[in-house]
Amino acid sequence: MNIGIIGAGLIGGTLARRLSLLNHKVTIANSRGPETLKDLATEINVKAGTAYEAARNNDIAVITIPQKNIADLPKDLFEGVKDDVIVIDTCNYYPLLRDGVIAELEHDLTNSEWVQAKIKKPIVKTFNSIPYTSLGDAGRPKGDKNRIALPVSGDRKKDKEAVSDLLDQLGFDFFDVGELKNSWKYEPGTPTYCMDFNLETLKNKLNDLGTIRTPEIKANIIEQRTEQEKQFLEYYSKMKK
C-alpha cells in the first residue's frame, strides 16, 4: 500500500520504519520540510515529502503530530483527496504537558472528533494508546495469547476493516470500539491507555467503562491524565539535570 505519515516523532518515525519493513511505500513529512528528514528517510527506506504529498495520492494517511498542531495544518491539505482514502489519527490531548487548553476538548468532543472537524475528513482513531517502544518491537504472531490488542474507532466500516488488516501485519490484534465518539475510552487518563493489554483484557477494560462518558467518568479521566502529565514533567525535569 501507499501510506503517508504526517509527523516524524516517536510514533510517526516508528510506524514509518515498521511499515517500510513490510514493503509498504511510505512517505513521511514534518513541519520543517523534507530536507530535514533526508537522513531518516534514507536509513529506513522511505520517501521524505511534504505534508501535501503524505496526505495525497496514498491509500492511507496517518496524522501523528501534537494535538495543538492540528490547527496549523494547511486548510486545503485534504482538498480533492479521493473519498476512499483512510485517514488515521494518533493524536492525544495533553493540556498541561504540551498543548495548552483547547476549549472544545474541555467539553464534549473527543480528541479525534475535534481532529475530524478540523481536517474535514472521516478518520479512524488508533495507534494513540500504545507506547512507541511497543509499536516498534512488541508485535507477535496471530494467535499468540500475549499479542497486544489496539482499540480502533471510526464511523466507516470499510476503513476499520483495512486498519484491522494493517494491525495484523504489524503483529497486533484489532478491537472495534465502534463509532469515533467512543474513542474517549482510550484517551490519556483511561485505564486502557498505553497498558499493552491482550485482546480479552482490553475488551473487558473497555466494557467496564460503559457506553456513556458521564461527568463523573470524565472528571476521573481528567484527574488521571493530569497525574500522568505531572509524572512526565517530573521525569523530563530530572533528565535535563
Q: What is the 3-state secondary structure (H, E, C) of 108-122?
A: CCCHHHHHHHHHCCC
* Cα end-to-end span (Å), the chain: 44
Mean of pLDDT values over 94-107: 94
Using CA atoms, how far apart are residues 220 and 214, in angstroms rounded to an integer?
10
In a domain, 21, yes or no: no
Specify the number of domains making up the chain: 1
In a domain, 49, yes or no: no
pLDDT of residue 238: 81
Q: Which range has the worst mean pLDDT, 65-69, 90-94, 173-177, 231-235?
A: 231-235
pLDDT of residue 179: 98
- Band (pLDDT 50/70/90 cuts) for residue 107 is confident
pLDDT of residue 76: 95
Residue 225 has pLDDT above 90, yes or no: yes
- Band (pLDDT 50/70/90 cuts) for residue 241 is low
Residue 240 has pLDDT above 90, yes or no: no
In a domain, 51, yes or no: no
In a domain, 24, yes or no: no
In a domain, 203, yes or no: yes
Query: What CATH code is carried by the domain that includes residue 167?
Result: 3.40.50.720
In a domain, 127, yes or no: yes
Cα angle 150, 155, 157; round to 5: 75
In a domain, 145, yes or no: yes
In a domain, 144, yes or no: yes
Mean of pLDDT values over 58-77: 96
Q: Provide the domain limits for residue 210.
A: 66-240
pLDDT in tens, 7-40: 999 999 999 999 999 999 999 999 999 999 999 9
Mean of pLDDT values over 234-240: 81
Residue 78 has pLDDT above 90, yes or no: yes
